């Protein structure tokens, strides 16, 4: 491998998966060689951009690329989404965080909301390759926001889809379907959830009552990704943890989701102001 790679950080493929949801393959053989499911990267799209964490949705070790999937909701994700195939992201750092423990559990169920499917897709592949029987419940507000349905369906023995408006699958929430599945007598050895904090909190409550070991892929604020800034602090089992170096996956039954919700929303007004300024700048 060359010490200097002129294509490092170059976007080699870009695809729209759903409304405002983008998939990118980025050339970075160093990260591709060592990354594992559950880890993430820090991305700086443009020189003046903020640093944002994005979970790795997969790697191609042979071709030296990493895959990220993100929703264009804030200033930085919109700047990333504005880049085209052939462009370079300014910085791409990783792999960061601890990989999820991929073992032979038996029956594994994945519960995702929104772009949470991107968080668990690579994990689903890894669990299946270990010989686990994998089920999944995927939810979104409406049908056109469902992503990776075909890919996850090809991995899972059973896939359930829910939408808030009933435009696809079951009308309602992923937690409604989870309760129905467990009430029918189905048993699972591991549950893994990723997505909005309120959804993960409810999943943890349901699986706690059913005595199912559950992992939550947390999404706190991150800046440096190395534990220095402290922005990603979460409370797990009554102790402070740094999600970027000790996570991002934790025992869902030990996570203080109420605190996490407050931290995730702390800068909401600042984010809205930043986005408003950015969108106005595009028109000027």
Instruction: Write the pLDDT tens digit of every residue in 207-260.
Output: 999 999 999 998 878 877 777 887 788 999 999 998 888 888 999 999 999 999
Report CA-CA distances (Å) from 220 to 241, 265, 273.
11, 9, 20
- Provide the CATH number for the domain around residue 203: 3.40.50.80
Residues 115 and 250 in one domain: yes
Residues 147 and 250 in one domain: yes
* Least confident segment among 124-128, 153-157, 188-192, 275-279: 275-279
Q: Tokens 């029918």 belong to which residue?
A: 184
Whether the pLDDT of residue 184 is over 90: the answer is yes
Residue 279 within any structural domain of the chain = no
Residue 91 within any structural domain of the chain = yes
Q: Read off the pLDDT of residues 1-25 as tens digits, 9 standing for 90 and up.
A: 555 678 899 999 999 888 888 999 9
Whether the pLDDT of residue 270 is over 80: the answer is no
Residues 111 and 234 in one domain: yes
Read off the pTM.
Answer: 0.86
Q: Read off the pLDDT of residues 122-167 as tens digits, 9 standing for 90 and up.
A: 888 899 999 999 999 999 888 888 888 888 888 999 999 999 888 9
Overall domain count for the chain? 2
Final residue in a domain of this structure, among 65, 96, 127: 96
pLDDT of residue 188: 96
Residue 137 within any structural domain of the chain = yes
pLDDT of residue 4: 66
Residues 146 and 215 in one domain: yes
Cis peptide before 176 (omega within 30 of 0): no
pLDDT of residue 2: 54
Q: What is the mean pLDDT of the chain?
A: 89
Are the CB atoms for 233 and 241 separated by under 8 Å?
A: yes
* Structural domain boundaries enclosing 20: 11-96
**Across residues 72-97, what is the average pLDDT?**
91
Residues 86 and 123 in one domain: no
Residue 84 within any structural domain of the chain = yes
pLDDT of residue 222: 80
Residues 86 and 163 in one domain: no
Residue 79 within any structural domain of the chain = yes
**Across residues 106-117, what is the average pLDDT?**
88
- Burial letters 131-167, b for 16+ CB under 10 A, else e: ebbbbbbbbbeeeebbbbbeebeebbeebbbbbeeee
Q: Provide the phi-psi class of 237: left if phi over 0, else alpha when psi is between -120 and 50, else beta.
A: left
**Across residues 85-113, what is the average pLDDT?**
92
- Provide the CATH number for the domain around residue 33: 2.40.30.10
- Can you say whether the dihedral through the CA atoms of 137, 140, 141, 145 is positive or negative? negative
pLDDT of residue 278: 74
């Amino acid at each position: 491998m060359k010490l200097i790679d002129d294509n490092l950080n170059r976007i080699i493929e870009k695809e729209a998966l759903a409304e405002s949801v983008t998939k990118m393959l980025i050339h970075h053989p160093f990260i591709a060689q060592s990354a594992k499911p559950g880890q993430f990267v820090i991305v700086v799209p443009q020189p003046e951009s903020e640093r944002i964490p994005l979970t790795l949705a997969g790697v191609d070790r042979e071709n030296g690329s990493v895959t990220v999937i993100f929703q264009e909701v804030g200033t930085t994700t919109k700047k990333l989404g504005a880049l085209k195939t052939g462009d370079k992201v300014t910085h791409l750092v990783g792999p960061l965080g601890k990989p999820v423990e991929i073992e032979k559990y038996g029956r594994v169920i994945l519960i995702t909301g929104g772009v949470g499917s991107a968080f668990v897709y690579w994990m689903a592949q890894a669990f299946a390759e270990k010989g686990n029987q994998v089920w999944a419940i995927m939810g979104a507000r409406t049908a056109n926001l469902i992503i990776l349905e075909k890919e996850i369906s090809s991995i899972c023995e059973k896939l359930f889809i829910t939408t808030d408006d009933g435009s696809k699958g079951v009308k309602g929430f992923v937690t409604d379907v989870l309760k129905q599945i467990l009430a029918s007598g189905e048993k699972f050895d591991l549950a893994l959830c990723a997505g909005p904090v309120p959804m993960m909190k409810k999943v943890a409550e349901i699986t706690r009552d059913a005595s199912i070991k559950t992992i939550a892929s947390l999404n706190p604020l991150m800046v440096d990704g190395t534990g220095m800034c402290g922005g990603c602090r979460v409370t797990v089992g009554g102790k402070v943890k740094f999600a970027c170096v000790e996570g991002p996956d934790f025992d869902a039954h030990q996570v203080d989701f109420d605190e996490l919700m407050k931290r995730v929303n702390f800068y909401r007004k600042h984010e809205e102001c930043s986005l408003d300024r950015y969108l106005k700048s595009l028109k000027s």
